[in-house]
Amino acid sequence: MHRSTFIAVLFIALVFAAPAHAQKGGVLIIGQSIPLSGSNKELGEDIREGALAYLKKVNDAGGVHGRKIELLSLDDANDTKKSDANTKALLDQNVIALFGYGSATLSAPALPQVEAARIAFFGPFTGADVMRKFNHYVYNHRAGYADEMEKIIEQYASFGIKRFGVVYYDDAIGKENLAAVERALKARNLSVVGVAALKRKQTDVTPEVTQLLQANPDVVIMTTLYKHSADFVKIARKQGASAQFVSNSFPGSTALASALGEDGLGVAMSQVVPTVYHRAIPIVREYQDATEKYKGRKEYSFQSLESYIAMRVLVEGIRRAGPQPTREKLLQALDSIHNYDLGGYVVSFSPTNHNGSSYVGLTILGHDLAFRD
């Protein structure tokens, strides 16, 4: 066996051997399938690091009921088949919950296994309708994309703007985003003036840019991944577009800001957590302090804050489940979390409602290449 292959196999063996041994020692394992390579790597890393920052804070303080909590993250490279396989592997490790999958397309394939295992599927990083329809095992800690579209349209329509265009993926989830925009506009007696339907693996968006700009929109709402959104803005501005571009939270602010660079100045983005720079907000201050201790530097993002919040709520559920938590006890404990104020951000579940928050704010990309409100 080649030495590099041997090392890789040994690493995998150690990763999968650790949880079984750790469980015997009292450690609780949370499982996660996440893009740590490939096209959505930046988002996956943000999600993982936000969760780990909170777990370090908890474990440094002695854990929960004296038990440490660990996060076992498997790389799915933003591939649904790998996500599905990772879910099976994680369930085989007897994890207490599944956490923080990177999108609706990565989450949906896991649901049959989740339901069969009767395990909490907590905090998927998506606001797609398909994941917000009530499921006994799925818990959304954040607002939905429909909430984001409503906030965006409310903001611009209040200034008398009537011409809205939409960039979306030509698939089931993308069409849900388009439908959410259309509903929000219809409530104001407006309609979409132009659309750009992209394929997820599309490399050149120039034809769609040209077509959408012919409709002369005043605001273009983007619901695509950061590369497509950034390419769309750059090409549109080269073609002389004067429209305001605004993205929902889907692409991740860190990745989108990096991809846009100086070409993105003035692009707006909706966020489902408070601004990460507002230290006066208790949950933001707590997150900043924990992140600095975990990373050893002041490096913040909306996505890692969102993950920090999600993990804090999940750990609260584990705490309420008692010293010997089971999957079933954790489900019951999560259902008991009502109006849980983390310090400027409130999450509330019930046995019939697993959509914990509807918080949405708007931010703008400034000269420091950071999204701020």
Q: How does pLDDT run across 12-53, given as a tens digit for each residue?
A: 333 444 443 333 448 999 999 999 998 789 899 999 999 999
Q: Which 8-state DSSP code applies to residue 64?
A: B
User: How many beta carbons lie within 10 A of that of residue 77, not counting itself?
Assistant: 16
User: How many beta carbons lie within 10 A of that of residue 107, not counting itself?
Assistant: 25
What are φ and ψ of residue 218, in 5° steps? -90, -30
Q: Which domains does the chain have, with CATH numbers?
A: 3-144+280-359 (3.40.50.2300), 145-271 (3.40.50.2300)
Instruction: Give the per-residue pLDDT at 161.
Output: 97
Q: How does pLDDT run across 244-271, given as a tens digit for each residue?
A: 999 999 998 999 999 999 999 999 999 9
Confidence of residue 11 (pLDDT cuts 50, 70, 90): very low
Closest CA to 349 of 141, 195, 118: 141
Closest CA to 155 of 250, 244, 255: 244
Q: Which 8-state DSSP code applies to residue 98?
A: E
Go through the chain and tell me how many residues it has: 373
Token pair recorded at residue 128? 């797609």
Q: How does pLDDT run across 177-232, given as a tens digit for each residue?
A: 999 999 999 999 999 999 999 999 999 999 999 999 999 999 999 999 999 999 99
Mean pLDDT of the chain: 92
Closest CA to 118 of 132, 134, 138, 141: 138
Q: Report the run of H or E that residue 82 belongs to, with start and end.
A: helix 80-92
Closest CA to 153 of 120, 127, 180: 180
Are 129 and 140 spatial neighbours (Cβ–Cβ below 8 Å)?
A: no
Instruction: Give the per-residue pLDDT at 3.
Output: 40
d(CA 338, CA 254): 31
Arithmetic mean of pLDDT, 88-108 = 96
Are 60 and 272 spatial neighbours (Cβ–Cβ below 8 Å)?
A: no
d(CA 48, CA 43): 9
